[in-house]
Amino acid sequence: MALAPFRDIRIDPAFLMTGAGVADVINLKRFKKRMERERSATQAETNRARSGRTKSERARDKKREQRADEFLDQHQLDDGGQP
């Protein structure tokens, strides 16, 4: 018999009466949106890991570099106007 292994399985009648075995209704639009958000979050995490620094960190470093260049330009010796 093919059903012989399942003979020992017993289902609690209370389980059947509560409806716990019935699948929930799923709103497909919400499901699709949630999946898209998860994919987007995964892609963003990958991009952040690849880039290594945030936009604010890059801007801060660029500003520091510009200030250092300006400081050096202010303290540059004048060669007397000769080319």
Over the stretch 16-64, which tens digit does the pLDDT of each residue have? Answer: 555 555 667 788 999 999 999 999 999 999 888 877 888 898 899 999 9
What is the Cα–Cα distance from 74 to 25, expressed in whole angstroms? 71
2, 19, 67 from 45: Cα distances, Å: 50, 40, 32
Token couple for 25: 């209704």
Residues 6+ apart with CB under 8 A from 21: 15
Q: Where along the chain do its domains lie? A: 27-72
DSSP assignment, residue 12?
Answer: -
- One-letter amino acid of 83: P
Residue 65 banded pLDDT, cuts 50, 70, 90: very high
Whether residue 42 contacts residue 36, with contact meaning beta carbons closer than 8 Å, is answered with no
